[in-house]
Amino acid sequence: MIKEPAVPVLPLRRNRDFNLLWSGQVLSVLGAQISAIAFPLLVLALTHSPAKAGIVGFAEMLPMGLLMLPAGALVDRWDRKRVMVVADSARCVALASIVLALAVDSVSFAQIVAVALVDGIGAAFFSVGERSALRQVVADEQLEAAMVRNQAREFGALLGGQPLGGVLSSAWAGSCRSSSTRSRTSSRSQPSC
Protein backbone atom coordinates (compact mmCIF):
# COMPACT_ATOMS: atom_id res chain seq x y z
CA MET A 1 0.00 0.00 0.00
CA ILE A 2 1.41 3.35 -1.08
CA LYS A 3 0.85 6.31 1.19
CA GLU A 4 0.29 9.66 -0.39
CA PRO A 5 2.52 12.36 1.02
CA ALA A 6 0.69 14.67 3.38
CA VAL A 7 0.14 18.12 1.98
CA PRO A 8 1.54 20.66 4.43
CA VAL A 9 -1.08 23.02 5.80
CA LEU A 10 -0.20 26.70 5.77
CA PRO A 11 -0.46 28.42 9.13
CA LEU A 12 -3.45 30.76 9.41
CA ARG A 13 -1.26 33.85 9.31
CA ARG A 14 -0.13 32.78 5.81
CA ASN A 15 -3.52 31.56 4.54
CA ARG A 16 -4.34 34.26 1.98
CA ASP A 17 -8.05 33.42 1.65
CA PHE A 18 -8.64 33.36 5.40
CA ASN A 19 -6.71 36.60 5.94
CA LEU A 20 -8.68 38.36 3.18
CA LEU A 21 -11.95 37.19 4.71
CA TRP A 22 -10.85 38.08 8.23
CA SER A 23 -9.35 41.50 7.48
CA GLY A 24 -12.28 42.50 5.29
CA GLN A 25 -14.58 41.73 8.16
CA VAL A 26 -12.63 43.85 10.63
CA LEU A 27 -13.97 47.07 9.08
CA SER A 28 -17.43 45.66 8.52
CA VAL A 29 -17.83 44.45 12.11
CA LEU A 30 -16.35 47.69 13.45
CA GLY A 31 -18.85 49.65 11.34
CA ALA A 32 -21.70 47.49 12.61
CA GLN A 33 -20.71 48.20 16.20
CA ILE A 34 -20.40 51.92 15.50
CA SER A 35 -23.89 51.97 13.98
CA ALA A 36 -25.27 49.97 16.92
CA ILE A 37 -24.70 52.99 19.16
CA ALA A 38 -24.90 55.75 16.54
CA PHE A 39 -28.38 54.81 15.28
CA PRO A 40 -30.12 55.22 18.65
CA LEU A 41 -28.19 58.40 19.40
CA LEU A 42 -29.07 59.82 15.98
CA VAL A 43 -32.75 59.02 16.46
CA LEU A 44 -32.71 60.55 19.95
CA ALA A 45 -31.06 63.71 18.59
CA LEU A 46 -33.54 64.03 15.72
CA THR A 47 -36.79 62.98 17.38
CA HIS A 48 -36.15 63.27 21.14
CA SER A 49 -38.06 59.98 21.43
CA PRO A 50 -36.58 56.98 23.26
CA ALA A 51 -39.44 54.87 21.85
CA LYS A 52 -38.40 55.67 18.29
CA ALA A 53 -34.78 54.83 19.15
CA GLY A 54 -36.05 51.46 20.38
CA ILE A 55 -37.99 50.94 17.15
CA VAL A 56 -34.80 51.46 15.14
CA GLY A 57 -32.93 48.96 17.32
CA PHE A 58 -35.77 46.47 16.88
CA ALA A 59 -35.78 47.02 13.10
CA GLU A 60 -32.06 46.26 12.98
CA MET A 61 -32.29 43.07 15.06
CA LEU A 62 -35.58 41.67 13.68
CA PRO A 63 -34.05 40.30 10.45
CA MET A 64 -31.42 38.39 12.43
CA GLY A 65 -34.12 36.53 14.33
CA LEU A 66 -36.37 35.93 11.35
CA LEU A 67 -33.86 35.26 8.57
CA MET A 68 -30.98 33.26 10.02
CA LEU A 69 -32.51 29.83 9.30
CA PRO A 70 -33.90 30.66 5.83
CA ALA A 71 -30.66 32.49 5.00
CA GLY A 72 -28.70 29.36 5.89
CA ALA A 73 -30.74 27.24 3.51
CA LEU A 74 -30.40 29.80 0.72
CA VAL A 75 -26.69 30.44 1.23
CA ASP A 76 -26.03 26.71 0.95
CA ARG A 77 -27.52 26.85 -2.57
CA TRP A 78 -25.90 30.10 -3.68
CA ASP A 79 -22.33 31.25 -4.23
CA ARG A 80 -21.21 32.21 -0.71
CA LYS A 81 -18.69 34.78 -1.84
CA ARG A 82 -21.28 36.57 -3.97
CA VAL A 83 -23.82 36.50 -1.11
CA MET A 84 -21.28 38.05 1.26
CA VAL A 85 -20.23 40.74 -1.24
CA VAL A 86 -23.83 41.66 -2.11
CA ALA A 87 -24.93 41.67 1.55
CA ASP A 88 -22.08 43.90 2.72
CA SER A 89 -22.39 46.16 -0.34
CA ALA A 90 -26.10 46.68 0.34
CA ARG A 91 -25.32 47.50 3.97
CA CYS A 92 -22.61 49.95 2.92
CA VAL A 93 -24.87 51.75 0.41
CA ALA A 94 -27.71 51.95 2.94
CA LEU A 95 -25.46 53.36 5.66
CA ALA A 96 -23.88 55.80 3.20
CA SER A 97 -27.39 57.10 2.44
CA ILE A 98 -27.67 58.17 6.08
CA VAL A 99 -24.36 60.05 5.86
CA LEU A 100 -25.47 61.72 2.64
CA ALA A 101 -28.87 62.62 4.10
CA LEU A 102 -27.16 64.10 7.16
CA ALA A 103 -24.85 66.13 4.92
CA VAL A 104 -27.79 67.68 3.06
CA ASP A 105 -29.94 67.90 6.20
CA SER A 106 -32.74 65.67 4.96
CA VAL A 107 -32.57 62.54 7.10
CA SER A 108 -35.92 61.18 8.24
CA PHE A 109 -37.01 58.65 10.82
CA ALA A 110 -38.46 56.44 8.07
CA GLN A 111 -35.12 56.41 6.27
CA ILE A 112 -33.31 55.41 9.45
CA VAL A 113 -35.75 52.54 10.03
CA ALA A 114 -35.36 51.39 6.41
CA VAL A 115 -31.56 51.52 6.67
CA ALA A 116 -31.69 49.60 9.95
CA LEU A 117 -33.77 46.89 8.25
CA VAL A 118 -31.39 46.67 5.27
CA ASP A 119 -28.44 46.55 7.68
CA GLY A 120 -30.05 43.72 9.65
CA ILE A 121 -30.95 41.73 6.52
CA GLY A 122 -27.44 42.13 5.13
CA ALA A 123 -25.91 41.15 8.45
CA ALA A 124 -28.03 37.98 8.62
CA PHE A 125 -27.04 36.81 5.15
CA PHE A 126 -23.40 37.79 5.55
CA SER A 127 -23.07 36.10 8.91
CA VAL A 128 -24.41 32.79 7.59
CA GLY A 129 -22.27 33.08 4.44
CA GLU A 130 -19.11 33.77 6.42
CA ARG A 131 -19.60 30.84 8.77
CA SER A 132 -20.24 28.54 5.81
CA ALA A 133 -17.27 29.88 3.83
CA LEU A 134 -14.89 29.43 6.73
CA ARG A 135 -14.85 25.66 6.22
CA GLN A 136 -13.83 26.22 2.61
CA VAL A 137 -10.88 28.51 3.32
CA VAL A 138 -9.22 26.76 6.26
CA ALA A 139 -8.21 23.17 6.84
CA ASP A 140 -10.27 21.15 9.32
CA GLU A 141 -7.43 21.12 11.84
CA GLN A 142 -7.31 24.95 11.72
CA LEU A 143 -11.04 25.51 12.06
CA GLU A 144 -10.89 25.97 15.83
CA ALA A 145 -8.07 28.54 15.60
CA ALA A 146 -9.89 30.38 12.81
CA MET A 147 -13.06 30.57 14.89
CA VAL A 148 -11.05 31.88 17.84
CA ARG A 149 -9.62 34.64 15.64
CA ASN A 150 -13.11 35.49 14.40
CA GLN A 151 -14.39 35.73 17.98
CA ALA A 152 -11.43 37.93 18.92
CA ARG A 153 -12.33 40.18 15.98
CA GLU A 154 -15.94 40.38 17.17
CA PHE A 155 -14.99 41.28 20.74
CA GLY A 156 -12.34 43.76 19.59
CA ALA A 157 -14.91 45.49 17.40
CA LEU A 158 -17.39 45.50 20.28
CA LEU A 159 -14.85 47.09 22.60
CA GLY A 160 -13.73 49.70 20.07
CA GLY A 161 -16.79 50.23 17.88
CA GLN A 162 -19.40 51.39 20.33
CA PRO A 163 -17.14 53.93 22.05
CA LEU A 164 -16.08 55.17 18.62
CA GLY A 165 -19.76 55.45 17.66
CA GLY A 166 -20.34 57.55 20.77
CA VAL A 167 -17.39 59.80 19.92
CA LEU A 168 -18.58 60.25 16.33
CA SER A 169 -22.13 60.97 17.49
CA SER A 170 -20.94 63.55 20.00
CA ALA A 171 -18.73 65.16 17.34
CA TRP A 172 -21.77 65.35 15.02
CA ALA A 173 -23.90 66.79 17.82
CA GLY A 174 -21.13 69.27 18.67
CA SER A 175 -20.92 70.45 15.07
CA CYS A 176 -24.70 70.85 15.06
CA ARG A 177 -24.59 72.98 18.21
CA SER A 178 -21.83 75.18 16.83
CA SER A 179 -23.59 75.58 13.46
CA SER A 180 -26.86 76.51 15.16
CA THR A 181 -24.99 79.07 17.28
CA ARG A 182 -23.40 80.51 14.14
CA SER A 183 -26.76 80.62 12.37
CA ARG A 184 -28.26 82.69 15.17
CA THR A 185 -25.40 85.18 14.94
CA SER A 186 -25.16 85.36 11.16
CA SER A 187 -27.69 86.46 8.58
CA ARG A 188 -27.26 83.24 6.56
CA SER A 189 -29.27 80.23 7.62
CA GLN A 190 -27.35 77.09 8.41
CA PRO A 191 -28.76 73.59 8.15
CA SER A 192 -30.35 72.34 11.34
CA CYS A 193 -29.18 69.12 12.91
Alpha-carbon span 54 to 39, nearest angstrom = 10
Task: Please state, in angstroms and rounded to a whole number, the distance separating the CA atoms of residues 70 and 38.
Answer: 29
Q: How many domains does the chain fold into?
A: 1
Choose between 121 and 27: higher pLDDT. 121
Q: Where are the beta strands (DSSP E) in 10-166?
A: none
105 and 118 in contact (C-beta within 8 Å)?
A: no
Answer yes or no: is 4 within a domain: no
Is 43 part of a structural domain of the chain?
yes
Q: What is the mean pLDDT of residues 60-68?
A: 91
Structural domain range at position 91: 15-164
d(CA 129, CA 142): 19
pLDDT above 50 for 185:
no
Question: Is residue 183 scored above 70 in pLDDT?
Answer: no
Question: Quick check: is 3 in a domain?
Answer: no
The string of pLDDT tens digits covering residues 105-118 is 899 999 999 999 99
Distance of alpha carbon 87 from alpha carbon 80, whole angstroms? 10
- Using the Cα atoms of residue 36, residue 38, residue 43 and residue 45 in order, give the sign of their dihedral: positive
pLDDT in tens, 120-167: 999 999 989 888 888 888 888 888 888 888 888 888 888 888 788 888
- Quick check: is 10 in a domain? no
Within a domain: residue 92? yes
* Rg of the chain over all Cα atoms, to the nearest angstrom: 21
Task: Please report whether residue 112 resides in a domain.
Answer: yes
Return the pLDDT at 2.
61
Whole-structure pTM value: 0.77
